[in-house]
Structure 1
Amino acid sequence: MQSNFRLRHMIGSIVLALAPTSAFAATDEALLPRNLSPWGMFVSADIVVKAVMIGLACASLVTWTVWLAKTVELRRKSALARQRTHALEGNTTLADAAARTGDAHDAVAQLIQTSAKEAELSGGILDDGLLERVALRLERVEAATSRRISRGTGVLATIGATAPFVGLFGTVWGIMNAFIGIAESHTTSLAVVAPGIAEALLATALGLVAAIPAVVIYNYLVRGIANYRALLGDASAQLMLIVSRQREHRDFRLARAAE
């Protein structure tokens, strides 16, 4: 009988010890918001944290838009530049090359046309000054084309550099609001602090989601632009060779270049 009494007393003590914990757990579970999904946390977030998240989402959209537009542009222009540069490698003259380009406005066509224009303005004087003037014109066209093809990449560098800090700002603001909620509720319950911290960490996650692709895409586009500039350099070199050969052979058909 005495052993049974001790067993019942021990079981009763364990139940009493666990009862407050179970009650607190039930209370915490009741206080937790029902929807802890990313969308639910966004809806219940502070207005400042919401603004940060929306801004980061827009930055991510801009990143992928720039990637798509610049990738299509680079592929199209690089293919055309290779085609025109390959045509310059054959036995051709500057006048013939200018006639084939017609009224085209791509980069290599502009290089050919500006070389033919300088040959026309030189009045048939085939000296070293002509080569220098043609080289100067080619450099100017290459620089202008490089500026045009690089448009839009600067925003990727800005997003990649600033998005983590913007997300960090949302995190700091969300955690600050979480501690303010603890102070106002006079409780250290996890149910009070957890939603605010979760919303804050979501802002950091969105900052990384916006920044990491921006940095990767920026580096990818920089390599593509460098390859495109190399193609323009090859085209300029071919044009300089054509001008040099025609100068040596005294076969500068300016009339056709002017046409």
Structure 2
Amino acid sequence: MEDAVVSAATGAMGPVMGKLVALLGDEYRRLRSIHTEIKSLTRELETIDAFLENMAEAEDPNPQDKAWMKEVRELSYDVEDNLDEFMARVIADKSSKPDGLVDNIKSKLKRLKARHEIAKAIEDLKKQAMEVSQRNKRYRDHAMSNTSRSPKIVDPRALAIFEDVSKLVGVDGPKKELLQRLADDQQQTKLVAIVGFGGLGKTTIANQVYQELKGQFQYRAFLSVSRNPDIVNVMSNIYGQLNHGYSGGGTENLQTLLAKILEFLQNKR
């Protein structure tokens, strides 16, 4: 559902940007006097569109983001409706043929009034777009301020590492099966997945197996990963557990860390 909200917002912005670019073309050269306003509105909407692209990469937008995306979608519809009206008026004006001096003067006055109205509407749309951007920034700044003051929330899966295994029921069977799988040299097991609903003790079982087998390996690592992990930090954590001489905190990228881990583990158990 969240993906649909983001897609609707980003999808609605595409036609708007195309029509704004069209208004700057030769076909609408009668609007050259308001090109500055059109370009300014375009830049404002491009900034909003960039925010939407970033949000599209998030797996689970928060309620504030979803409310803002709805506002952006409504703004894009307002802008597009106005642009359609501008284009229709310009085309209708081009098709009309004034007959005589009086009609010619009336036509020019009508075009002047239309350009003034379009310029005013463009300026209003720009203000509306700026308000949407500023409101989003204000809420984000407020949220970041609250986050910095509030205590950090610990991933419950990380706490599960320290849970007393005696509190869990039915652990011995799965634990024994895991140990057998990992000890079977014929299968040459490289990966074992523990799946199940939250709260069943998957992390605790994994930690118990790790604690029992770690003595058989000179180099090992154990860590709990959140739903949206920073992969560079994850790899840095793993490398730090393998190579105790690694202090971390550097500027290594993901490829560099992977190369270091692979090189370090060559011919090691």
TM-score (norm 2): 0.29
By relative contact order (CA 8 Å, sep 6+), the higher-ranking structure is 1
Structure (1/2) with the larger helix percentage: 1
